[in-house]
Structure 1
Amino acid sequence: MSTPAGWDHPRTSLYTDHYELTMLQASLHSGAAHRKSVFEAFARRLPDGRRYGIVAGTGRLLEGLADFRFGEAELDFLGRTGVVNQDTLDYLANYRFSGDIWGYPEGEAYFPNSPILIVESTFAEACMLETYILSVLNHDSAIASAASRMISAAGDRPCIEMGSRRTHEEAATASARAAVIAGFHSTSNLEAGMRYGIKTVGTAAHSFTLLHDTEREAFEAQLASLGEGTSLLVDTYDVETAVRAAVELAGPKLGGVRLDSGDLVAQAQWVRQLLDQLGNENTRIMVTSDLDEFAIAGLQSAPVDSYGVGTSLVTGSGAPTASMVYKLVSRTDDAGNFVSVAKAAKNKTSMGGRKYALRKLNERGIATQEVVGIGHRPDDDGNDRPLLQQFMKNGELLPGWTGHEGVMRARQRHADTMAELPAVVNRLQRGEPAIPTIYEEN
């Protein structure tokens, strides 16, 4: 795994909860810490009204696991504050994940109870990963799921991620990555561009216009610096005056104009007419201003060429978490045999046993069911698709899942999975999951 020059992963071992280390200490004391165990990350339900979710964050998670170590500073903190005892500190000093990790590849659709990530290791190694795994998958999958709905609503018009100023700085980079996986054309976030090779774009804000004595002077400066193909923000003052000035200064080669306020549908229609009348048939119209999937769908009839999406994207468009959980589903007994285990609380039940997942497809290649085998692989009719891929083997990262390659691979997976799902996934109305999840037991 390679990282860009000038950027280092932070240690990720303390991106966790106190109780994970106290569980480790108690299990080391009981002798059960080294029992082979299978943990599973899944979502019991989709956000209210959603018909599918999109997996994202796995590549970031795998990158972070390479730095899930306890160095001198971490061990000093844990010892000095009395979080764990000396025996546990000695174990942590040599900690390195040595197990296997399987899961749904990034960009894949998931449904209630899909086994999105499976961690096979000892209890001691796997239990400490709970919070880190969930914090990454819950955030990134929420963003990718919202982004996918926006891409569906946008059709063939590109969407640009512009939400960095509306969230935490690291969340902004993760959001940009997740959005591109789900089909966004580009991002304004330069850190995401450096880390993952994502296309970055941007021109100017209203402050640039306000900086100059006149709007015309601002346009002249931007065109002289960035070229005629740039996009000019035309709603700082009067839109019609700005559009006319932009065309007069740049001519028919003007790349685009951006609208960021007002009735975007009506405004885009008459700006398009004005541009065409002035001979700028090829000048594009970009719209921004608190867009979400519903606003984008409402702009389908407007002559808009692209959408800039910010706040709604980085907050999951009303569902900022995927509500995933991480549960122990199988472990060995004293004789070394695997036994299924599961929580039995009435409102938080889970299904024990190691899972294998398959997407059933009909004769037209359209998904009809998510089949989850418990302890065995479901039968393949010949055109069905296994869903679980291996990401780590014996603690070693397998190639192709991280960095720029991982993002592009996930982007293609998203396009392919959306093409095989039933058309109901393109509806924004509330409804049940697009396909049911069926369990097969031995």
Structure 2
Amino acid sequence: MNSGDLGLPMKEGREALVQEGGGGRRVGVPSTALFTDQYELTMVQAALKAGTAERRSVFEVFTRRLPNGRRYGVVAGTGRVLDAVENFRFEPDVLGFLRERRIVDEETLDWLADYRFGGDIWGYPEGEVYFPGSPIMRVEGSFAQCVLLETVILSILNHDSAIAAAASRMSSAAAGRPLIEMGARRTHELAAVAASRAAYVGGFATTSDLAAGFRYGIPTVGTSAHAFTLLHDRERDAFQAQVNSLGRGTTLLVDTYDVAEAVRSAVEVAGPDLGAVRIDSGDLLLVAHRVRQQLDALGATDTKIVVTSDLDEYAIASLAAAPVDAYGVGTQLVTGSGHPTCSMVYKLVARAESGDPKAPLVPVAKKSTGGKTSIGGRKWAARRLDEYGVAEAEVIGTGPVPGDLADRQLLVELVKGGEVVTREPLDAARERHMSARADLPLSATQLSRGEPVIPTEYVGTPSGN
């Protein structure tokens, strides 16, 4: 049987790709400098004139709350953020655009022409879980250098983390059965590639998107659609053509016409070694049971059943007792299963007292009556475990790290002095997520709505966020 049809990772191919840059092929990436909002450039212009642009600053990415009903979040997109920071360059054509539109003045254009991020970035490693207030990423450097990265960092983390969280819930509901990402046709073509990557971090095994396979080394799968069956004079002819081309281990789509007749023809054509059949419509629970009985009666006891058709985590959970071997998920996955963003923000939390490079940092924070307050100060984070090794609190502080949490700190160094210091294969992020999710209380995997599965506690900072 072709394991790829069921979404089972094909390790030889992945290992070969992962060696190229730690996460698939390091293909050329264009400048990311315009993946930003105009006010970030106009702030730089004003700060340059005021003499505050070079003041040392600390920005943090966090979310004030999880999407309604979600019990944990999943950090995804970190590797893409590192690529974006490396490629944040104001090239001549970009500078020409800014000059033509008179977005900033010549002094600022000269400064942008030499822009290279030279600061430090710390963050939760990709695949880790997070909670309200978690300092998911910390960016340190001059104000001007850091403020320019706000939009590109948020756009990546908000999108990818939302997809990874949905994927994680679906992976948990699937209880070990392989999941195939197949949502490319349901979103923007570039978002589809990022979504496939995030889904892999969240627990999906394969993707139908070849661009994602090429760029990130994710195993790819796919055989045929209803159009291939409709092309032929008889359904049996379509099956025969596919088996002749792809072998008996292929997956045949059996719900174009009559499912029972299609299953019978499929086994007659491919024999009992038929790899799998795919069901894409109808009452999946009922149809899967009937197909399993029919396959067994025809001697195809090892033939697997793949189901697709607008699945989400709830539909997957409802099929737990069905004889289903793999799930293909599209629309609900790439749209975050109802929560397409994580509402992460990028806030200045500390800045130097003066322009002196040795000036001490002072906490700063927005205070308002509209519920958008934040906590100032450069923060650390750690996860406290109970006596059984299960997470019981997300602890965040600005002062010294308590001794009992010293080896449970969550932030890792990603960029030092403008140079990326942490690159890792995508499989490492995927495995980290499985481990982090396993350390949470069992209620984390419940699909019913609820509060964050562990509380956020603040040490050395005002309570609340």
Category of TM-score, reference length = shorter chain: over 0.9
Quick check: 1:358–1:378 contact (8 Å CA) kept in 2? no
Task: For 1:33-72, list aligned pairs within 5 A.
Answer: 33-72=53-92
Aligned AA (2:39): Y
Q: TM-score, normalised by structure 1?
A: 0.97
Deviation at 1:350, TM superposition (A): 0.5
Task: For 1:52-201, list aligned pairs within 5 A.
Answer: 52-201=72-221
Deviation at 1:380, TM superposition (A): 2.2
Aligned AA (2:211): E
Find the counterpart in structure 2 of residue 400 from structure 1: 423
Q: Decide which of 220, 224, 227 is 2:240's aligned counterpart.
A: 220
Quick check: 2:383–2:405 contact (8 Å CA) kept in 1? no
Deviation at 1:375, TM superposition (A): 3.6
Task: For 1:331-370, list aligned pairs within 5 A.
Answer: 331-334=351-354, 336-346=359-369, 347-370=371-394
Distance 2:389 2:212 in 1: 35
Find the counterpart in structure 2 of residue 416 from structure 1: 435
Task: For 1:309-388, list aligned pairs within 5 A.
Answer: 309-334=329-354, 336-346=359-369, 347-380=371-404, 385-388=408-411
Per-residue Cα deviation, 1:30-51 (whole angstroms, up to 9, x for no partner): 0110000000000111010000
Note closer, same or farther for the CA distance 1:5–1:100 as it changes in structure 2 (3 Å cut): closer
Find the counterpart in structure 2 of residue 7 from structure 1: 27
Task: For 1:424-435, list aligned pairs within 5 A.
Answer: 424-435=443-454
Per-residue Cα deviation, 1:366-418 (whole angstroms, up to 9, x for no partner): 00000001143243257x621101100000001424xxx1x111011101101
Distance 1:222 1:378 in 2: 62
Deviation at 1:305, TM superposition (A): 0.3
Distance 2:317 2:266 in 1: 29
Note closer, same or farther for the CA distance 1:358–1:87 as it changes in structure 2 (3 Å cut): same
Segments of 5+ residues of structure 2 without an aligned counterpart are 1-19
Distance 2:75 2:212 in 1: 18
Quick check: 1:33–1:123 contact (8 Å CA) kept in 2? yes
Note closer, same or farther for the CA distance 1:16–1:381 as it changes in structure 2 (3 Å cut): closer
Q: Give the aligned CA root-mean-square deviation in angstroms.
A: 1.3
Distance 2:454 2:24 in 1: 40
Segments of 5+ residues of structure 1 without an aligned counterpart are none
Quick check: 1:150–1:296 contact (8 Å CA) kept in 2? yes
Note closer, same or farther for the CA distance 1:422–1:33 as it changes in structure 2 (3 Å cut): same
Distance 1:5 1:38 in 2: 32
Per-residue Cα deviation, 1:287-333 (whole angstroms, up to 9, x for no partner): 00000000000000111000000000000000000100000000001
Aligned AA (1:393): K
Q: TM-score, normalised by structure 2?
A: 0.92
Say which is worse superposed, 328-337 or 413-422, in terms of deviation: 328-337
Aligned AA (2:159): H
Quick check: 2:79–2:423 contact (8 Å CA) kept in 1? no
Aligned AA (1:387): L
Note closer, same or farther for the CA distance 1:171–1:439 as it changes in structure 2 (3 Å cut): same
Aligned AA (2:347): K
Distance 2:117 2:36 in 1: 15
Q: Percent identity?
A: 60
Quick check: 1:28–1:88 contact (8 Å CA) kept in 2? yes
Count, aligned residues: 437
Aligned AA (2:387): E
Per-residue Cα deviation, 1:190-234 (whole angstroms, up to 9, x for no partner): 111111111000110101111111111110000000000000000
Per-residue Cα deviation, 1:70-111 (whole angstroms, up to 9, x for no partner): 010000000111000000000000000000000001111000
Secondary structure of the equivalent of 1:430?
coil
